[in-house]
């Protein structure tokens, strides 16, 4: 699957603090009644997508209803097709009606995208193309991918217990720039008459600065450590990335900034993952490293993610 459960937010801020329900009823004889009149209302577009997505979204919707009843919040839901499901229904991975519904909503809850059934489709008819179009259409540039190993599930990790135990990190991935969106891109022929395919890894100062600030803010609220991952020894785009992240660091003197090449970061994530607190990186590196980090917990399906835009 190209995406696990994901919350895409444009102008939505969580209006409540999630607390374990058991704690709310921990005192004998104490009953908490649901609010009779909602004080806040939010609209959520549901995109179940493919594979396990519909099953997960159904449960997530029920959880939101329960939370809303306890906190005096009313959620309205609109389910729309996307990905392979949309391809089968409409012939495109992201129908215009789906994107419009997502843009009107306060938040979007996405299940999973992709499957073997559509792997041989042309690029514009692949489920994953719809995911890229959704990110671009919602202008969500920051992807947050936490990876926390819970004590009860530490044995689910494929790593040794002493390596996986206590891991608590988050990957902040730039989501709408870099090689996935850079131009020129396409197919052509070289001077020898051979077919070639080409893509462009490109970042502007603005794109780097805004994702860096998101990462610094998150690190400031965690353990105060930020590791910026790049390939600045080879790639010009990474050289600019490191230069700008270093410059933004002056705005956050309380956050300790370090830099790491992506190949080393991939190795360190499985060698000693507890060294990481907050990681910030570009689109393609973040795509790979966040999946790797998720497997420290045992399964990518055990972790959520959120995609944020400027207005969040």
Tell me which residues are annotated as active site: 180, 231, 263, 287, 291
Q: What angle do CA 300, 42, 175 make, to 5 degrees?
A: 40
The first and second tokens of residue 311, run together, are: 């207005």
> Do 212 and 204 form a contact (C-beta atoms < 8 A)?
no
The first and second tokens of residue 94, run together, are: 């992201």
Closest CA to 308 of 210, 168, 230, 180: 210
Q: At what angle do helices 127-138 and 96-104 cross, to 10 degrees?
A: 40
Tally of CB atoms within 10 A around 27:
9
Burial of 54 (0-12, 13-18, 19+ CB in 10 A): middle
User: Any idea how long the chain is?
Assistant: 312
Could you give the residue ranges of the DSSP H alpha helices within the chain?
21-24, 53-71, 84-90, 96-104, 127-138, 161-164, 205-221, 236-248, 262-271, 283-296
Q: How far, in Å, CA of 109 to CA of 77, rounded?
A: 10
């Amino acid at each position: 699957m190209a995406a696990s459960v994901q919350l895409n937010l444009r102008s939505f801020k969580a209006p409540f603090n999630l607390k374990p329900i058991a704690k709310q009823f921990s005192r004998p004889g104490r009953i908490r009644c649901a609010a009779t009149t909602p004080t806040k209302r939010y609209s959520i577009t549901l995109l179940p997508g493919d594979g396990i997505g519909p099953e997960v979204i159904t449960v997530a919707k029920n959880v939101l209803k329960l939370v809303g009843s306890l906190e005096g919040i009313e959620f309205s839901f609109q389910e729309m097709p996307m990905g392979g499901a949309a391809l089968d229904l409409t012939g495109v991975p992201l129908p215009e009606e789906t994107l419009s519904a997502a843009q009107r909503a306060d938040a979007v809850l996405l299940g999973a995208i992709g499957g073997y059934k559509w792997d041989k489709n042309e690029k514009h008819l692949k489920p994953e193309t719809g995911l890229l179009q959704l990110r671009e259409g919602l202008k969500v540039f920051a992807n947050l991918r936490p990876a926390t190993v819970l004590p009860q599930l530490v044995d689910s990790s494929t790593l040794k217990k002493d390596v996986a135990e206590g891991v608590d990190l988050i990957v902040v991935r730039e989501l709408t720039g870099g090689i996935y969106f850079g131009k020129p891109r396409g197919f052509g022929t070289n001077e020898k008459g051979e077919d070639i395919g080409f893509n462009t890894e490109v970042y502007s100062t603005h794109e780097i600065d805004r994702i860096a600030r998101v990462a610094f803010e998150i690190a400031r609220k965690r353990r105060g450590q930020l590791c910026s991952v790049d390939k600045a020894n080879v790639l010009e785009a990474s050289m600019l990335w490191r230069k700008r992240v270093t410059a933004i660091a002056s705005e956050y003197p309380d956050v300790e900034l370090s830099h790491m090449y992506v190949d080393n970061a991939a190795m360190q994530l499985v060698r000693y993952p507890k060294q990481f607190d907050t990681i910030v990186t570009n689109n393609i590196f973040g795509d790979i490293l966040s999946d790797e980090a998720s497997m420290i917990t045992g399964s990518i399906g055990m972790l959520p993610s959120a995609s944020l835009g400027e207005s969040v």
